[in-house]
């Protein structure tokens, strides 16, 4: 579904992503692991159009999408989740989901989704969809809570919920488990598995929690120093000498 070929991203003279090549299979939940500073987030940001690459190529279904802006990728169904923007924290959980575009497209669709909220409160269909999403994610009891009052894990579920309000095909999730308790992490994992199985979402997940990776992800890709060290099952990755060396070296 996604092919990354010899991707590089430099910051000044520093090579954050240094010739990374990998493939993401349609229908997979691919895990991206690696020590801090490996270049995982930078790789995500380049694929998702948040940062321009220095060189290299990204294709989606054979089409060159290298360097396309986020709103164009968004239209193709490629989404990267972001923390709930500050200005949305005083709105309720349900309102956050309802900031969806009507008949807009292109850049304005992305802007509405990401930057400037327009609540389509009058649209019964949107309301129904938001409630379905809340139920699916088992956070319907929080629908009238202000987003800013949610715990870290609940916010992650809301971020996931926003991808369900549009037609996502592939979703990039950065550090789902950071600061999230085990129970909520399991709920997030359940939601990801169900979205994958029932709605056909492909996921790429950066995560440090190996139990979470073991439960959800196959294949797993390990990066270090801007390069892809190995790709395979978690067991294969754990047994890979380059991976062991990269982790021991930090
Ligand atoms: P990871 O997500 O694997 O922890 P990152 O992609 O966040 O790694 O970072 C990779 C390297 O690139 C780190 O050394 C980081 O300091 C550096 N880096 C990331 N973003 C920038 C930036 N905007 N400017 C300069 N260096 C950066």
ipTM more than 0.95? yes
Predicted TM-score (pTM) of this structure:
0.89
**Atom 25, ligand 1: residue with shortest CA distance:** 11
pLDDT per position in the chain (250 positions), as tens?
Answer: 999 999 999 999 999 999 999 999 999 999 999 999 999 999 999 999 999 999 999 999 999 999 999 889 988 999 988 776 666 788 899 988 887 554 455 566 666 666 655 555 557 778 888 999 999 988 999 999 999 999 888 888 998 898 888 878 999 998 888 878 888 899 999 999 999 999 999 999 999 999 999 999 999 999 999 999 999 999 999 999 999 998 877 5
Distance from residue 36's CA to the centre of ligand 1 (Å)? 9
**Atom 22, ligand 1: residue with shortest CA distance:** 11
**Atom 21, ligand 1: residue with shortest CA distance:** 11
**Atom 16, ligand 1: residue with shortest CA distance:** 37
Do residues 179 and 152 touch, judged by C-beta distance below 8 A?
Answer: yes
Q: In the structure, which protein residues have their CB atom closer than 6 angstroms to any atom of ligand 1? A: 11, 14, 16, 34, 36-42
**Where along the chain do its domains lie?**
2-248
Distance from residue 108's CA to the centre of ligand 1 (Å)? 30
Do residues 184 and 151 touch, judged by C-beta distance below 8 A?
Answer: yes
DSSP 168-204: -SEEEEE-TTTT--HHHHHHHHHHHHHHHHHH--EEE
Q: Quote the CATH superfamily of domain 2-248.
A: P-loop containing nucleotide triphosphate hydrolases (3.40.50.300)
What whole-number distance in Å separates Cα of residue 57 and Cα of residue 230? 19
């Amino acid at each position: 579904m996604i092919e990354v070929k010899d991707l590089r991203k430099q910051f000044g003279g520093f090579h954050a992503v240094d010739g990374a090549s990998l493939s993401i299979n349609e229908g997979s939940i691919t895990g991206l692991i690696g020590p801090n500073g490996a270049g995982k987030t930078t790789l995500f940001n380049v694929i998702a159009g948040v940062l321009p690459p220095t060189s290299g190529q990204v294709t989606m279904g054979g089409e060159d999408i290298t360097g396309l802006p986020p709103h164009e990728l968004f239209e193709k169904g490629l989404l990267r989740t972001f923390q709930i923007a500050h200005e949305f924290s005083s709105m309720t959980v349900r309102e956050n989901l309802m900031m969806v575009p009507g008949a807009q497209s292109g850049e304005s669709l992305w802007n509405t989704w990401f930057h400037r909220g327009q609540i389509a409160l009058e649209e019964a269909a949107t309301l129904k969809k938001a409630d379905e999403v809340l139920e699916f994610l088992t956070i319907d009891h929080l629908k009238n809570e202000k987003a800013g009052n949610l715990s870290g894990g609940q916010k992650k579920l809301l971020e996931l919920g926003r991808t369900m309000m549009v037609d996502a095909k592939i979703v990039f999730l950065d550090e789902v488990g950071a600061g999230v308790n085990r129970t909520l992490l399991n709920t997030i994992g359940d939601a990801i598995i169900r979205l994958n199985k029932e709605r056909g979402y492909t996921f790429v997940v950066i995560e440090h929690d190996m139990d979470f990776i073991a439960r959800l992800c196959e294949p797993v890709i390990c990066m270090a120093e801007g390069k892809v060290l190995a790709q395979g099952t978690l067991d294969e990755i754990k047994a890979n000498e380059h991976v062991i060396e990269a982790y021991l070296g930090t």
